[in-house]
Amino acid sequence: MIQIKNLSHHFELGKKGRKTILPVLKDINMEVRRGEIVSVVGKSGSGKSTLLNLISGFIRPTEGEIWMEGQIVSDLSEAKFADFRLKHIGFIFQSFQLIPSMTAYQNIELPLILKGEEEKKRKEIVVRMMENVGLRDFQDHYPSELSGGQQQRVSIARALVLEPTLILADEPTGSLDSETESEILEIIQKLNQELGITFLIITHDEEVAQIGDRTISIRDGRIMEGANAV
Protein backbone atom coordinates (compact mmCIF):
# COMPACT_ATOMS: atom_id res chain seq x y z
CA MET A 1 0.00 0.00 0.00
CA ILE A 2 2.75 2.44 1.04
CA GLN A 3 6.48 1.89 0.58
CA ILE A 4 8.92 4.48 1.80
CA LYS A 5 12.48 4.17 0.54
CA ASN A 6 15.47 6.06 1.94
CA LEU A 7 13.33 9.08 2.71
CA SER A 8 15.00 12.16 4.17
CA HIS A 9 13.60 15.61 4.64
CA HIS A 10 14.97 18.91 5.81
CA PHE A 11 13.48 22.38 6.06
CA GLU A 12 15.38 25.51 5.11
CA LEU A 13 15.01 28.28 7.61
CA GLY A 14 15.98 31.93 7.44
CA LYS A 15 16.47 34.34 4.58
CA LYS A 16 18.58 34.02 1.46
CA GLY A 17 22.26 34.15 2.18
CA ARG A 18 21.71 33.20 5.83
CA LYS A 19 19.95 29.90 5.43
CA THR A 20 20.07 27.21 8.04
CA ILE A 21 19.10 23.65 7.36
CA LEU A 22 16.87 21.81 9.81
CA PRO A 23 17.11 18.07 9.19
CA VAL A 24 13.82 16.47 10.27
CA LEU A 25 13.59 12.98 8.75
CA LYS A 26 16.65 10.81 8.23
CA ASP A 27 16.73 7.78 5.96
CA ILE A 28 13.26 6.43 6.67
CA ASN A 29 12.44 2.99 5.28
CA MET A 30 9.04 1.56 6.08
CA GLU A 31 6.08 -0.21 4.58
CA VAL A 32 2.35 -0.28 5.23
CA ARG A 33 0.58 -3.29 3.79
CA ARG A 34 -3.01 -3.37 2.57
CA GLY A 35 -5.49 -4.03 5.38
CA GLU A 36 -3.11 -3.16 8.22
CA ILE A 37 -3.38 -0.63 10.99
CA VAL A 38 0.10 0.78 11.49
CA SER A 39 0.96 3.23 14.26
CA VAL A 40 3.86 5.64 14.11
CA VAL A 41 4.73 6.73 17.63
CA GLY A 42 7.22 9.33 18.76
CA LYS A 43 7.61 12.36 20.97
CA SER A 44 6.49 15.82 19.94
CA GLY A 45 8.96 17.24 17.41
CA SER A 46 10.25 13.85 16.26
CA GLY A 47 9.00 14.41 12.71
CA LYS A 48 5.70 12.49 12.66
CA SER A 49 3.54 15.18 11.07
CA THR A 50 6.25 15.90 8.52
CA LEU A 51 6.21 12.21 7.58
CA LEU A 52 2.43 12.33 7.18
CA ASN A 53 2.61 15.53 5.12
CA LEU A 54 5.09 13.82 2.79
CA ILE A 55 2.88 10.75 2.39
CA SER A 56 -0.10 13.03 1.80
CA GLY A 57 1.81 14.93 -0.88
CA PHE A 58 1.49 18.33 0.78
CA ILE A 59 5.28 18.60 0.70
CA ARG A 60 7.92 16.83 -1.41
CA PRO A 61 10.85 14.99 0.16
CA THR A 62 14.40 16.29 -0.01
CA GLU A 63 15.57 12.74 -0.75
CA GLY A 64 14.10 9.31 -1.28
CA GLU A 65 10.89 7.86 -2.68
CA ILE A 66 7.33 7.21 -1.60
CA TRP A 67 5.40 4.53 -3.48
CA MET A 68 1.65 4.01 -3.26
CA GLU A 69 -0.62 1.74 -5.26
CA GLY A 70 2.39 0.52 -7.23
CA GLN A 71 3.62 3.93 -8.41
CA ILE A 72 6.09 6.56 -7.24
CA VAL A 73 3.99 9.39 -5.89
CA SER A 74 6.71 11.53 -4.32
CA ASP A 75 7.53 13.18 -7.64
CA LEU A 76 3.96 13.76 -8.84
CA SER A 77 2.95 17.33 -9.66
CA GLU A 78 0.63 19.07 -7.18
CA ALA A 79 -2.36 18.59 -9.46
CA LYS A 80 -1.65 14.90 -10.02
CA PHE A 81 -1.10 14.32 -6.31
CA ALA A 82 -4.38 16.11 -5.57
CA ASP A 83 -6.14 13.67 -7.91
CA PHE A 84 -4.40 10.73 -6.29
CA ARG A 85 -5.42 11.93 -2.80
CA LEU A 86 -9.06 12.30 -3.81
CA LYS A 87 -9.18 8.78 -5.22
CA HIS A 88 -7.26 6.93 -2.55
CA ILE A 89 -6.76 8.76 0.75
CA GLY A 90 -9.03 9.91 3.57
CA PHE A 91 -7.85 12.18 6.38
CA ILE A 92 -8.60 12.48 10.08
CA PHE A 93 -7.12 15.35 12.07
CA GLN A 94 -6.67 16.07 15.77
CA SER A 95 -8.69 19.27 15.38
CA PHE A 96 -11.54 17.64 13.34
CA GLN A 97 -11.47 20.43 10.69
CA LEU A 98 -15.24 20.58 10.31
CA ILE A 99 -16.98 23.54 8.71
CA PRO A 100 -18.80 25.33 11.58
CA SER A 101 -21.65 26.71 9.45
CA MET A 102 -22.60 23.27 8.12
CA THR A 103 -24.52 20.52 9.90
CA ALA A 104 -23.02 17.09 10.52
CA TYR A 105 -24.86 15.82 7.45
CA GLN A 106 -23.66 18.68 5.26
CA ASN A 107 -20.05 18.28 6.40
CA ILE A 108 -20.11 14.60 5.51
CA GLU A 109 -21.84 15.27 2.19
CA LEU A 110 -19.40 17.98 1.05
CA PRO A 111 -16.74 15.78 -0.61
CA LEU A 112 -19.52 14.10 -2.63
CA ILE A 113 -20.85 17.48 -3.80
CA LEU A 114 -17.33 18.50 -4.84
CA LYS A 115 -17.02 15.22 -6.72
CA GLY A 116 -20.30 15.97 -8.56
CA GLU A 117 -22.27 13.02 -7.21
CA GLU A 118 -26.03 13.29 -7.72
CA GLU A 119 -28.29 13.89 -4.73
CA LYS A 120 -29.90 10.48 -4.37
CA LYS A 121 -26.54 8.71 -4.43
CA ARG A 122 -25.09 11.30 -2.02
CA LYS A 123 -27.84 10.68 0.47
CA GLU A 124 -27.46 6.92 0.27
CA ILE A 125 -23.70 7.15 0.94
CA VAL A 126 -23.94 9.79 3.70
CA VAL A 127 -26.59 7.80 5.59
CA ARG A 128 -24.55 4.61 5.30
CA MET A 129 -21.39 6.32 6.58
CA MET A 130 -23.25 7.99 9.45
CA GLU A 131 -24.47 4.55 10.46
CA ASN A 132 -20.92 3.22 10.30
CA VAL A 133 -19.84 5.71 12.95
CA GLY A 134 -23.07 5.72 14.99
CA LEU A 135 -24.18 9.26 14.17
CA ARG A 136 -27.67 8.93 12.67
CA ASP A 137 -29.37 10.88 15.49
CA PHE A 138 -27.06 13.87 15.16
CA GLN A 139 -27.24 14.61 11.46
CA ASP A 140 -28.81 18.06 11.86
CA HIS A 141 -26.47 19.23 14.61
CA TYR A 142 -23.84 21.86 13.91
CA PRO A 143 -20.27 21.10 15.10
CA SER A 144 -20.71 23.48 18.06
CA GLU A 145 -23.67 21.36 19.16
CA LEU A 146 -21.62 18.15 19.23
CA SER A 147 -19.14 16.74 21.75
CA GLY A 148 -15.50 16.28 20.72
CA GLY A 149 -16.07 12.57 20.17
CA GLN A 150 -19.14 13.22 18.02
CA GLN A 151 -17.23 15.80 15.98
CA GLN A 152 -14.48 13.27 15.39
CA ARG A 153 -17.12 10.75 14.23
CA VAL A 154 -18.39 13.31 11.73
CA SER A 155 -14.87 13.81 10.46
CA ILE A 156 -14.34 10.04 10.16
CA ALA A 157 -17.60 9.70 8.20
CA ARG A 158 -16.47 12.55 5.96
CA ALA A 159 -13.13 10.76 5.42
CA LEU A 160 -15.07 7.67 4.30
CA VAL A 161 -17.54 9.00 1.74
CA LEU A 162 -15.21 8.86 -1.25
CA GLU A 163 -14.37 5.26 -0.31
CA PRO A 164 -10.62 5.61 0.28
CA THR A 165 -8.45 2.52 0.59
CA LEU A 166 -6.17 4.33 3.06
CA ILE A 167 -6.90 6.68 5.94
CA LEU A 168 -4.14 8.85 7.39
CA ALA A 169 -4.77 10.03 10.93
CA ASP A 170 -2.62 12.62 12.72
CA GLU A 171 -3.20 12.40 16.49
CA PRO A 172 -6.86 11.40 15.94
CA THR A 173 -7.61 11.25 19.66
CA GLY A 174 -5.31 14.09 20.72
CA SER A 175 -8.21 16.38 21.63
CA LEU A 176 -10.37 13.77 23.35
CA ASP A 177 -10.79 12.48 26.90
CA SER A 178 -9.78 8.88 27.50
CA GLU A 179 -13.27 7.38 27.35
CA THR A 180 -14.03 9.09 24.04
CA GLU A 181 -10.58 8.09 22.85
CA SER A 182 -11.47 4.41 23.27
CA GLU A 183 -14.72 4.90 21.33
CA ILE A 184 -12.89 6.46 18.40
CA LEU A 185 -10.22 3.74 18.43
CA GLU A 186 -12.97 1.11 18.40
CA ILE A 187 -14.53 2.75 15.35
CA ILE A 188 -11.16 2.72 13.59
CA GLN A 189 -10.78 -1.00 14.34
CA LYS A 190 -14.29 -1.72 13.12
CA LEU A 191 -13.74 0.15 9.85
CA ASN A 192 -10.48 -1.72 9.37
CA GLN A 193 -12.13 -5.10 9.94
CA GLU A 194 -15.46 -4.53 8.18
CA LEU A 195 -14.45 -2.31 5.27
CA GLY A 196 -10.83 -3.43 4.97
CA ILE A 197 -9.55 0.16 5.14
CA THR A 198 -5.82 0.52 5.81
CA PHE A 199 -4.92 2.99 8.55
CA LEU A 200 -1.71 4.84 9.28
CA ILE A 201 -2.04 6.48 12.67
CA ILE A 202 0.43 9.02 14.00
CA THR A 203 0.49 9.53 17.75
CA HIS A 204 2.73 10.64 20.60
CA ASP A 205 0.72 8.36 22.92
CA GLU A 206 2.09 4.82 23.44
CA GLU A 207 -1.35 3.64 24.54
CA VAL A 208 -3.08 4.88 21.39
CA ALA A 209 -0.30 3.25 19.36
CA GLN A 210 -1.39 -0.12 20.77
CA ILE A 211 -4.29 -0.12 18.33
CA GLY A 212 -1.82 -0.85 15.53
CA ASP A 213 -1.11 -4.32 14.18
CA ARG A 214 2.41 -2.89 14.18
CA THR A 215 4.05 0.09 15.82
CA ILE A 216 6.90 1.99 14.25
CA SER A 217 8.84 4.16 16.70
CA ILE A 218 10.45 7.35 15.52
CA ARG A 219 12.97 9.40 17.45
CA ASP A 220 14.69 12.55 16.20
CA GLY A 221 13.59 11.76 12.67
CA ARG A 222 14.88 8.21 12.62
CA ILE A 223 13.07 4.89 12.87
CA MET A 224 14.23 3.01 15.94
CA GLU A 225 15.52 -0.35 14.75
CA GLY A 226 14.52 -3.34 16.79
CA ALA A 227 11.45 -1.65 18.21
CA ASN A 228 9.43 -2.54 15.14
CA ALA A 229 7.86 -5.94 15.02
CA VAL A 230 7.17 -6.63 11.34
Ligand X SMILES: Nc1ncnc2c1ncn2[C@@H]1O[C@H](COP(=O)(O)OP(=O)(O)O)[C@@H](O)[C@H]1O
Residues in the chain: 230
Q: List contacts with Mg ion (CB under 5 A).
A: 48-49
CA 150 remoteness from chain centre: 18
Nearer to ligand X, 184 or 202 (CB): 202
Q: Give the end-to-end CA distance of the chain in Å, rounded to a whole number.
A: 15
* CB 45, min distance to ligand X, A: 5
* CB 172, min distance to ligand X, A: 13
**49 scored as a contact of ligand X (CB under 6 A):** yes
- What's the CA gap between 92 and 11, in Å, rounded? 25
Number of other residues whose CB lies within 10 A of the CB of residue 98:
23
Residues 6 or more apart whose Cβ sits within 8 Å of residue 163: none
Among the candidate windows 44-52, 80-88, 150-158, 207-215, which touches ligand X by CB under 6 A? 44-52
C-alpha closest to that of 212 among 225, 221, 220, 203: 203
Among the candidate windows 37-45, 64-72, 150-158, 205-213, which touches ligand X by CB under 6 A? 37-45
Quick one: what does residue 227 bind among ligand X, Mg ion, none, with the CB cut-off 5 to 8 Å set by partner type?
A: none
**111 scored as a contact of ligand X (CB under 6 A):** no
CA 38 remoteness from chain centre: 11
**215 scored as a contact of ligand X (CB under 6 A):** no
Nearer to ligand X, 49 or 228 (CB): 49
The residues of the shown chain that bind ligand X, judged by CB under 6 A, are 11, 13, 22, 24, 42, 44-50
